[in-house]
Amino acid sequence: MLNLILATLFSASFAMVVRYAQGRRCNMWAVGAMNYAVASLSNLALQAAQGDLSATASTAWIGASAGVSYVVAYFVLFKLMALRGIAISTAVTRLSVLIPVVASIVIWREQPTPYQSLGSLLALVSLPLLGIRLSPAGSSVDRRALSYLAALFLLNGYNMLAVRMFKETNVPGESALFLSILFGVAAIVAIAAWCTHRGHTSARDLVPGVALGLVNALANLSVVAALRQLPGFLVFPFHSAVGLAITVIAARLIWREQIGRLETAGIAVTLLAAVLINLG
């Protein structure tokens, strides 16, 4: 149970570190580059300790494609977070589990449970709610925020799907190598992006970048360890629901985020949808 708690805390901490870095006016491109470099090197060191650094073709291409998706999702995340805050952004990442669930049905011919079917419907309902804000003049849709919501949903969904695809290859002993390739490719893309956004880079970017990389690496390792000890039907609902709840509470208490009525309803529906989808 300790590994599940740690995995949930590390997962929730990722968005909080990003929000903290924004509050310090860090160069978010630099923070992202350092994050993925640290995460890649951590997993590479772990794989090296096992003695084999040669990757199969499937591990390499799935890891590389996921690396590109991961870093673009990070860029979208900090843009969305600047517009709508940490609570809404995190809610969308939790909903992304719908994509690997749908892929499991279409590609691997798995039959959805009634819980997953209901959760999928609720996920579709919650996304528009997260993009609507009420004002004295009435409700309005922030089109830019909604486009970021949709992009983050799709990208993070592929990130989860890539992990499932790697699992389906049944290649033993390459989990850390897969993650080192994934984060390594993400680091290369992030460094290239940083080179074109060098303004305001300073030493204050160092701590959040390293912290984000360590949180990234530890979150993945803790989830793997939790799944070795506990069934998935317990791990994933707890990880999704409690992680989202922690983030929403932090958004309110630490950053004083104001969440509208429809947004609150969207987060509540998201919470229920994430639990139901993971009850497969």
For residue range 190-212, what is the model confidence (pLDDT) as tens digits?
A: 999 999 988 788 888 999 999 99
Closest by alpha carbon to 165, among 182, 151, 149?
182
Domain that residue 211 falls in: 2-277
- Checking if the pLDDT of 131 tops 70, the result is no
Any idea which residue has 């390459």 for tokens?
A: 174
pTM exceeding the 0.85 threshold for the entire prediction? yes
Instruction: Give 171-180 pLDDT, tens digit per residue.
Output: 888 888 999 9
Instruction: Give 33-63 pLDDT, tens digit per residue.
Output: 999 999 999 999 999 998 788 899 999 999 9
The structural domain count of the chain equals 1
Whole-Å CA distances, 43 to 36, 99, 112, 123 = 11, 26, 33, 33
Distance, CA of 224 to CA of 233 (rounded, Å): 14
End-to-end CA distance of the chain: 20
Q: Which amino acid is at 231?
A: P
- In this prediction, residues 235-262 reach a mean pLDDT of 84
